[in-house]
Structure 1
Amino acid sequence: MQTCALAEELAADNDFILYAASLHPFARADDQELSEKERYEMIMQELQIIGRRFISQGLHVHVGMPDGETAIKVCNLIQAFLPIFLSLSCSSPFYEGKDTGLLSYRTKLFEVLPLAGLFEYMENWNHFVDQIEDLRKYGIIGGIRDLWWDTRPNPQFGTVEIRVCDLPVKFTSILALVALIQSTAAWLVEDVEGSSALSPYLLKANKWQAARHGLEGRFVDPTAILGDHPMQFRLAAMILKSRVSPYASKLGCDSYLEHLDSIISGGTGADHMCRIYQNTGDFHQVVRAIQKEFWQ
């Protein structure tokens, strides 16, 4: 919180504002300036127009793991619930002054990157290490940072990294989503048995529904833990919250998790942005309202 407040203060001193969302509603990709870092320059040289159009940001959540085998188990299982996290975080309905018709257009921008998308099922930690070493050996990646999966083990930090989410537009929503992700990971570690590979077709269909429709989208749980029938993401989020609440209490983040109810009942940042634009027809009003409400 202190870091965000300091960043906001420094921005104001330089006539900028801090804007929390995954896409600016009317910024043009061709107008952006690249940060002067060698890694970014190399990425842009390789990606070309794909990289130039990628003017988005997301929420990445790291969850500490006791060992590599546990990290692989969590990565395999948590994929079933990543679309729920996405549906709660949608904040990118507009791109270059156009209504995309999606609530998370960032998701589709991200998916065209090489080695982006689903985490392929891994049998164990050694299987993961072998895959990474092959990719390094053939010069496909330089390191783990070149794998833009929706979730990935991060050996450098000893974590599982959840990367599927848009950036929520309110600080309390960020805290709620982080609490849900941490609690879900703890639940999977302690109470859910490892499984075989989940259906990639269901995983992709769920992700599309979340990106397109947000909480109104249709979710089919490939594990059947939350239910064996299609349901709205809104209901799936409520069921998942109920399942993991005891783990939130153990982790001491239950008060943050309770803020999830306001997203489930009131909608996502993308829903709010769309309402503002429908009422005003002015993207500047959207930006001002979202910036003003970040700390509420």
Structure 2
Amino acid sequence: MTVTAASTTSAPSDPARPLMGVEEEYLVVDPRTREVAPRAGLVVARAAGELGDRVCTEITQFQVEAKTPPCAGSAELARELARMRAVVAAAARAEGLALIASGTPVLGPAVPPPITEDPRYDLGIENYRSLHDEQAICAGHVHVHLPDRERALLVCNHLRPWLPALIAFMANSPFWTGRDTGYAAWRVLAWSKWPVAGPPPYLESLGHFERLVEGLTASGALVDPATMFWDARPSLRLPTVEVRVSDVPASARESALLALVVRALVTVSLRRVEAGDPGPRPPDELLRVAYWRAARDGLDGHGADPYTGRQVPAAQVVEGLIEHVRPALEESGDLETVLREWRWLREAGSGAARQRAALRRHGSFEGVVDDLVARFSG
């Protein structure tokens, strides 16, 4: 099969500030029991009055997905994220419900989850079977405008070594239905079971990519090209690179920070591609270990260098990422914002650390849910 771009048109974009957008998945909870509630359709129907097709259901009836429009500036993106979250939160309240931004459900009978009725999901269940049992998981996706599919694929080669840093950066899934997993980003482990998930393979060209997709389709690993769930990929619907490795951030403030860093990372990577750099090739085994370590420790422990396996303080890994993208942040005018917000995040703690702090403070998982509801629109 041949994979074609979803769109052949693209809006003008400043090379220093390419358009960016954010997609987020949220969990619907009952504010009385604090358990996940299979009523996402009600929230989406009400929020669509203001957001239109920028809000939709997801694979399980526990999840709501919302999207910002494309944005050029950091202030514009922050406003759109805040508005988007405010609209869906108000829609949930109007239905007697609440929303939380957590990579995994804190409380509730989430296994197996109730699946949203859709012929495509029916095909997925037939093909993937009990892999859907832990699909009540929520990520934050960042899109960066890049309409040339081959360059987008080559950019992903440069993104691969930094994906573990992005996992640690926004780790926000320590609990699973009333149990502390011991991980900061358990969603990453739940997602890793899928046949086409995790870091993308190193890709030589568009032809290499298309041959690989043909093989994956022939094997039955793909129901359709959209089930190619790599953590960085050219979008199948939009003229963008999509980076989808992170847990959904707990707050709009963190989502804006993540988007600025990802945009800068794509910008730096594109310039290397255009200079003829094919991209680094960390050993696949060590990249996998770096994923595991980032998911386990988040920002509070150690990461693993994807080239050597050497343990490195997790905050130092993120500092290295920010230093790597500093030239792009300076050109876009976002450096001061990113440094300020990174200082705030280090002081406040990651989403996972704040969830655990809420458990200690309240003494119950119900208190964790209450804390996440309060943070949702922040």
Cα distance in 2 for partners of 1:64, 1:94 equals 34
Give the one of 151, 159, 179 matched to 1:98: 179
Give the one of 43, 48, 53 matched to 2:129: 48
Identity among equivalent pairs (%): 26
More divergent stretch after superposition (7-16 vs 233-242)? 233-242
Question: Is the counterpart of residue 287 in structure 1 residue 374 in structure 2?
Answer: no
Give deviations 1:68-109, integer Å, cap 9, x for gaps.
332122111111000110001111111121111111111111
Question: Is the counterpart of residue 150 in structure 1 residue 231 in structure 2?
Answer: yes
Give the one of 281, 302, 305 matched to 1:197: 281
- Higher RCO structure, 1 or 2 (CA under 8 Å, sep 6+): 1
Is the 2:168–2:314 contact (alpha carbons within 8 Å) kept by the matching residues of 1?
Answer: yes
Cα distance in 2 for partners of 1:252, 1:294 equals 27
Cα distance in 1 for partners of 2:243, 2:159 equals 9
Is the 1:218–1:230 contact (alpha carbons within 8 Å) kept by the matching residues of 2?
Answer: yes
Normalising by structure 1, we get a TM-score of 0.90
Give deviations 1:87-143, integer Å, cap 9, x for gaps.
011111111211111111111110111212221111112111221133335554243
Cα distance in 1 for partners of 2:183, 2:196 equals 23
The unaligned stretches of length 5 or more in structure 2 are 1-80
Map of 2:294 onto structure 1:
210
More divergent stretch after superposition (180-189 vs 156-165)? 156-165
Task: Decide which structure has greater helix share.
Answer: 1
- Please tell me the residue identity of whatever aligns with 2:344: S
- Please tell me the residue identity of whatever aligns with 2:317: A
Map of 1:11 onto structure 2:
92
Cα distance in 2 for partners of 1:161, 1:168 equals 16
Cα distance in 1 for partners of 2:211, 2:297 equals 37
State the Cα RMSD in Å: 2.2
Cα distance in 2 for partners of 1:10, 1:35 equals 19
Give the one of 288, 303, 310 matched to 1:219: 303
Cα distance in 1 for partners of 2:294, 2:186 equals 11
- Please tell me the residue identity of whatever aligns with 2:135: F
Cα distance in 2 for partners of 1:274, 1:138 equals 41
User: Would the alpha carbon gap of residues 136 and 47 (structure 1) be closer, same or farther in structure 2, given more than 3 Å must change?
Assistant: closer
User: In the TM superposition, what are the counterparts of 1:1-296 in structure 2 within 5 Å?
Assistant: 1=81, 2-30=83-111, 32-137=113-218, 139-191=220-272, 193-195=277-279, 197-222=281-306, 230-254=311-335, 256-258=337-339, 259-296=341-378
Give deviations 1:29-85, integer Å, cap 9, x for gaps.
247422122222222233333202221111111122252332122111111000110
Number of equivalent positions: 293
Please give the secondary structure, in 1, of the residue aligned with 2:114: coil
Is the 1:104–1:211 contact (alpha carbons within 8 Å) kept by the matching residues of 2?
Answer: yes
Is the 2:102–2:250 contact (alpha carbons within 8 Å) kept by the matching residues of 1?
Answer: yes
Normalising by structure 2, we get a TM-score of 0.72
Is the 1:144–1:154 contact (alpha carbons within 8 Å) kept by the matching residues of 2?
Answer: no
